[in-house]
Structure 1
Amino acid sequence: MLQLQKGKYFGVQNKVIHLDNLVITDTEYTHDRVDWHTHQNPYFTFLLAGNMQETNKKETYECSEGTLLFHNWQDAHCNVKHPGYTRGFHIELEQDFFERYQLPLNKMEGSTMLNNPVFKLLFRNMYMQTRYTAAIENLSISESLFKVFGLLTHVGELETARQPAWVKKIREVLHEDNATSLSWDGLAAIAQVHPVHLSRQFPKYFNTTVGDYLKKLRIEQAAGLLVQTGMPLTQISYECGFADQSHFIRCFKKDVGVSPLQYRKIISAR
């Protein structure tokens, strides 16, 4: 089976950045089909545009703009690119990264799809940093990755522990297509718990407040609409549940690092 060496992916690499023990690439996928293969190092893939299917030994993922995957180094997988322009952002981590910072690579097996909007917005922000070479700092990128692995470890520990029934129910609902239209009272009703109890317990299982989680879901939805449609900002802010366009722009820039229009321009550039 083919093993791709450090920093190599199937396609045209628009940009490659080496930062100490990290390799960051921006790749346009050009192969309609990619046979089974592995990679030399663990890495994250964040799909910037397009649609593709990824299959590993356990399951198949349908991936669209905004999909985030973590692949361990021993994970064998194959891919089918659906018609159209498809582009991915990769952060590859050499073994030294895990050894230096004592991160639990051995606890992560195969491929994992990460649906949490907190993770996704961290990757959108890191991608924006890589667009401006002078602003790229190893410290900043590494700090974001520490947050990701810290959250992954915390989530893994919680999933192996006993959880209240409402946690699974809420997690499923939050990842549905219409999750951005949910309200505080609606979530409490779904969980069948008192709103005050939900407010106190939610951060324990989701690493942020209910309000912040819903806001990040809305920003994620907006980022997808910015790339996939030509909707004006006013309509996007309305569709995603923001009070007004100004509020949407402020929230988007805070989490992603650039304004919505800048983001659309950068992602759409080929």
Structure 2
Amino acid sequence: MNLEPNKYFGITTKSLKTESFNISLTNHLANSKISLHSHEKPYLCLLASGTYIEESNITDIIIQGEVLYRTANYEHSNSFSDKGGLCLNIEINNHQKFTTLNELHLPLKVSKQKGILEMYKLLYGIKRCLSNDIINIYCYESMIAVMNVFNGKGDINWVKKIKELINDNPLETISLDKLSIEFSLHPNYIVRKFKEITGFKLSEYLTKIRLEHSVKQLLISNENITSIALENGFYDQSHFNRNFKKHIDTTPNNFRKVITG
């Protein structure tokens, strides 16, 4: 079964069409199953809550907080866990035009990565019923951020390794001296070149990844905000709140209430 654009199984709670994107939020009941199907267009999906098993040519377990890229006409079936699931789906209306204008290359195969802040910001904006032009901008930011990660745009080997180190161990202390020794590079060169290649200062990238890690805790646990802040490497709740608001335009507490409510 090949689904039309912006058509997904589950209970659609939001369906939007902006200037460049089709967006939908779908809820999936506990232990629900979706038969073999495909989608007419390539799309991104953030699993905002729940867990499911995807069956295709391989079997994959998709967990909360992961972002999927699925190529057009990719056949798969899904089986949700006893917690059900909430999916944020984004399609590009005209992906040939979009990729040309933004000098992006869509992955040639299905891909999966950890959730990124831009998509959580988009989810929050949709839940708050922000205007379509703002949602369209959030979609652009999400799509470009995800594609840059999937494609490793501009990365050189040591930059890629530093990013992997931070992504895999976001709560570990990052030592410039140790990185300098490991890669035989001057600390000043690491800092300058990392910004040139990634667009982020090293400190900004580390903060961004730690915020992504904290978002998942906000949504799956009942821990208080201060504990989550300290566990994710922030000085205190105030420091956490400032950085969270800078990236997602709201406080961690309000984000939790809007998304889980």
Is 1:220 matched up with 2:212? yes
Any stretches of 5+ residues in structure 1 without a counterpart?
Answer: none
User: What does the per-residue CA deviation read over 1:15-59, in whole Å, with 9 as the maximum and x for residues that have no partner?
Assistant: 2122244221111123633333210222211111111233454x5
- C-alpha root-mean-square deviation of aligned residues, in Å? 2.8
Q: What is the identity percentage for the equivalent residue pairs of Structure 1 and Structure 2?
A: 24
1:241 — aligned with what?
Answer: 233
1:85 — aligned with what?
Answer: 84
1:180 — aligned with what?
Answer: 171
- Counterpart of 1:169, as a letter, is K
Change (3 A) 1:40 1:47: same
TM-score by length of 2: 0.85
1:156 — aligned with what?
Answer: 151
What's the offset of the Cα at 1:91? 1.4
- Counterpart of 2:66, as a letter, is T
What's the offset of the Cα at 1:192? 5.0
TM-score by length of 1: 0.82
Moved over 6 A (4+): none
Aligned partners of 1:237 and 1:244 also within 8 Å: yes
Of 130, 135, 142, which residue of structure 2 is paired with 1:141? 135
Change (3 A) 1:210 1:19: same
- Counterpart of 2:87, as a letter, is G
What's the offset of the Cα at 1:131? 1.7
What's the offset of the Cα at 1:12? 0.9
User: What does the per-residue CA deviation read over 1:69-93, in whole Å, with 9 as the maximum and x for residues that have no partner?
Assistant: 1222232233232221311111122
What's the offset of the Cα at 1:61? 4.1
Aligned partners of 1:46 and 1:66 also within 8 Å: yes
- Counterpart of 1:180, as a letter, is L
- Counterpart of 2:233, as a letter, is G
What's the offset of the Cα at 1:180? 2.4
TM alignment of 1:96-111, pairs within 5 A: 98-99=96-97, 102-103=100-101, 107-111=106-110
Is 1:127 matched up with 2:135? no
2:163 — aligned with what?
Answer: 171
What's the offset of the Cα at 1:248? 0.4
How many pairs were matched up? 257
What's the offset of the Cα at 1:171? 3.3
What's the offset of the Cα at 1:213? 0.8
- Counterpart of 2:42, as a letter, is P
Any stretches of 5+ residues in structure 2 without a counterpart?
Answer: none
Aligned partners of 2:18 and 2:135 also within 8 Å: no
Secondary structure of the structure 2 residue equivalent to 1:74: coil
